[in-house]
Amino acid sequence: MNRHMFVLLRGSLANRAFSLSLIVVTLAFAVALYVGVQNVQRLTRASFENSISGVDLVVAARGADVQILLNTVFGLGASSNLISDKSVEAVAEMSGVSWVVPLVLGDSHRGFRVLGTAPDFFEHVIAPPSGNSLFAAGTRFDNVLDAVIGADVAEKLDYKLGDKIVLQHGVGEYGADHDDLPFVVHGILAPTGTPFDRAVLVSVEAIEVIHRGWRNGQQLVTLSPDDIEHSTQAETTHDDHHGEHHEDEHHDHASAGGLDAVDAVFVGLTDRRTVVRVQRAIAEFDAEPLSAVIPGVTLAQIWQIIGVADRGFRVVSLLVIVLVLLAMTAMTVLSTDSRRREMAILRALGASPRTLVGLILAEALLLSVCASALGLGLAMGVSAVAQQWLTQTFGLSVGLSSGGMLPGWQELMIVVYLVPAALVAGLVPALRVYRRTVQDGIMVER
């Protein structure tokens, strides 16, 4: 394009700045809708898969795989039943099992769920962010009434090491407080981009201890922190005495005897190639009905369930883009009809039909490029908003786990398709101009 054509193009665009701006903005929103949906879907999948990437199996009482995974990892739903410590020991002794980490659910703290687990949880289940230290401050719990809080919990509630926190009985808003046995913040996790950023982690023994003296959701006996160490030692050395009182002294998630029952177990294998064999062995366990969930396979089931809605969003986004391109074509046709005299004068001054066609196609190219750039910028904004929602709802940080909000190559392919599509849309008015003679514009009626 020579200098004169560039001046003509700039003047033509400036003369129709308002109408062309509407086309660019509308097309940009369509691009942002498509790219945003694709980007959020991709990053969400990566974050979900990263949540327990080190866990090979999630073992729980017999139930639906999706429900077990959502409950144990993402805090959605409730446990269908408990599994006994004898079953946990049997799973740990199975051939091919490297480690097991118990999980006790059922309590909360100011809207954040409480997880009772073992110290090995911090070694096997949660991966340090980007190779850095797992803890932003402090260490894992050492004593019974120590607690480790996630990064989001510390930020939103402004907790520091040494602060005392009170757990709430159950996960509802009206549960009673365990204010007689406050916990001490012993560690604060660095942001991991997993649901555990929104969790309070304590030992399984702590969950059992704070529910002594509870029955049917009511506290019957009050314990002081000074009683904890002695009573825990007594609980460990007198199993028979512990068994005699479990029915009277523990609520739902400790009703099987505290340490004698847990909600689920995270399992790691010595060789991941044996995962199907171990899963089958657990499913055929005779003592009680168990389910062994493979996280990756179950996540694939979840994506399959929501895949219909995802494809629907994608189709709608593409239809919006097509409609905007059709609108751009119609507006360009109307514009060329109103510019017939201008085109005729340019022809009379020596511009060839190919030059005028090039002028119109250059306009379409410039509009599509500007709309694509603006749409990608809007898509990054949509992804940032989605990240905040995912973090607040599930504790997932898609930026941390997937390298940021920048669209991937799959999302950028829409730009590769959009520019040629815009040129094709510009061909219709361009061919109309090409077929016109000089007299068509000069003799047009006013």
Structure tokens at 16: 């129709």
pLDDT score, position 243: 44
Does position 439 have pLDDT exceeding 60, yes or no?
A: no
Nearest to 35 by CA among 434, 445, 406: 406
pLDDT, mean of residues 410-426: 79
pLDDT in tens, 63-99: 999 999 989 988 888 888 899 989 999 999 999 999 9
pLDDT in tens, 108-157: 888 899 999 999 999 898 876 666 788 999 999 888 889 999 998 999 99
- Axis-axis angle for helices 17-51, 409-435 (nearest 10): 160
Name the range with the highest mean pLDDT among 66-80, 274-288, 347-361. 274-288
Model pTM? 0.69
pLDDT, mean of residues 151-171: 88
What is the longest distance spanned by two Cα atoms in the chain?
Answer: 108
d(CA 308, CA 313): 9
**Residue 391 C-alpha from the chain's centroid:** 7
Residue 217: which region, alpha, beta or left (left: phi > 0; alpha: psi -120 to 50)?
A: left
pLDDT, mean of residues 409-415: 74
Give the residue with greater pLDDT, 54 vs 393. 54
pLDDT, mean of residues 271-282: 93
Give the residue with greater pLDDT, 294 vs 305. 294
Please measure the distance between the N-terminal and C-terminal CA atoms of the chain and give it in whole angstroms: 32
d(CA 204, CA 211): 11
